[in-house]
Amino acid sequence: MSNKEDYPNCDSVLRQILDLNASFSPALELMSSVKRQENQFDSSINYCNKILDINKESAFAIASKARTFLKQKKDAEALKLALESVSLDANNPYSTGSLLLAYHFNNKQNEKQSLLKKIAAVQDTSYIASMQYVKDVISGKEIFRN
């Protein structure tokens, strides 16, 4: 998600979907990300919590909450959540990417390098593509937080 002018439109469409089905997980997941990108952190966390109300072991919701905490510079809390997310689903690229970001912002260089090596060994192209945003944040190509 990098096209900031599209966030209000995305928000509007997702609200319409959630008006029809308040527990539609894909819309809740997208909304948590949109709200984070709009710097509406409380709202982002609220959507994560709605997902967790439906599924207490949602690796995505926990990872999304970790990313929101990272944007707020609550790095230690984010790292705990990212580790929890990966413990629930070690093969989930969103969870792994969140952990990589948490290692990066917590200055855990050894852990970050080890995880980067593990990611590099993955041959699944969809997994690799989903890691691109995280790699762009780490390299400074993408601004994640101020």
- What pLDDT, in 10s, does the model give residues 6-19? 788 888 899 999 99
Report the pLDDT value the prediction gives residue 3, as an integer from 0 to 100: 62
Closest to 89 in 3D by CA, of 125, 64, 114, 120: 64
State the average pLDDT over residues 56-67.
Answer: 97
Pairwise CA distance, residues 7 & 27, whole Å: 13
Condensed to tens digits (0 to 9), the pLDDT of residues 71-130 reads 999 999 999 999 999 999 999 999 999 999 999 999 999 999 999 999 999 888 888 888
Report the pLDDT value the prediction gives residue 126, as an integer from 0 to 100: 84
Report the pLDDT value the prediction gives residue 14, as an integer from 0 to 100: 94
Report the pLDDT value the prediction gives residue 125, as an integer from 0 to 100: 86
Poorest-pLDDT segment among 25-29, 44-48, 75-79, 119-123: 119-123
Domains of the chain: 4-139 (1.25.40.10)
Higher-confidence position of 146 and 32: 32
pTM score of the predicted model: 0.92
pLDDT band for position 64 (50/70/90)?
very high
Report the pLDDT value the prediction gives residue 129, as an integer from 0 to 100: 85
State the average pLDDT over residues 57-82.
Answer: 98
Report the pLDDT value the prediction gives residue 1, as an integer from 0 to 100: 41
What burial letters (b/e) apply to 4-38, b meaning 16+ CB within 10 Å? eeebeebbeebeebbeeeeeeeebbbbbbbbbbbb
